[in-house]
């Protein structure tokens, strides 16, 4: 009898207005290749789930991918790092861009991404990609 497979998760952190199909496809592709579930953190200011995220969740459900969805009024870089570092099962974090989170941070001199205990994937598109 084989041991149960350890839980593995991709953490997808999203900001309202910064969700595009490439970002969602990157998270889904990583999930497939790594045989991992997806934890989705969405920063949304009480306006409900963004349409793109709603469609993505429906796709995950249709494909049988396990996921969790958490809506937050505020989501800072350090919140993402703390979440990933306190959940052993998170094997990588996917965000849109490093710069995008800088504008949200109150303390721009801190470097929370350096404290991340797993790989960080940025999936920005267009001029915002660096």
CA distance 107 to 121: 22
What would the two tokens of residue 126 be? 């267009």
Name the stretches of the chain with pLDDT < 50: 3, 127-130
pLDDT at 79: 92
pLDDT in tens, 33-43: 999 999 999 99
pLDDT at 127: 45
Domains and CATH numbers, the chain: 9-124 (3.40.50.620)
Strand pairing report for 37-43 and 67-72: parallel
């Amino acid at each position: 009898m084989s041991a149960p497979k350890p839980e593995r998760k991709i953490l997808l952190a999203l900001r309202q207005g910064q969700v595009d199909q490439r970002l969602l496809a990157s998270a889904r592709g990583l999930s497939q290749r790594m045989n991992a579930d997806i934890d989705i953190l969405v920063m949304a200011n009480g306006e409900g789930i963004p349409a793109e995220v709603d469609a993505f969740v429906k796709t995950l459900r249709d494909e049988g991918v396990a996921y969790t969805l958490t809506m937050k009024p505020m989501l800072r870089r350090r919140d993402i790092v703390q979440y990933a570092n306190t959940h052993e099962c998170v094997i990588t974090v996917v965000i849109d861009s490093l710069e995008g989170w800088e504008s949200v941070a109150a303390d721009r001199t801190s470097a929370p991404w350096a404290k991340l205990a797993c790989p960080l994937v940025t999936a920005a598109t267009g001029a915002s990609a660096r």
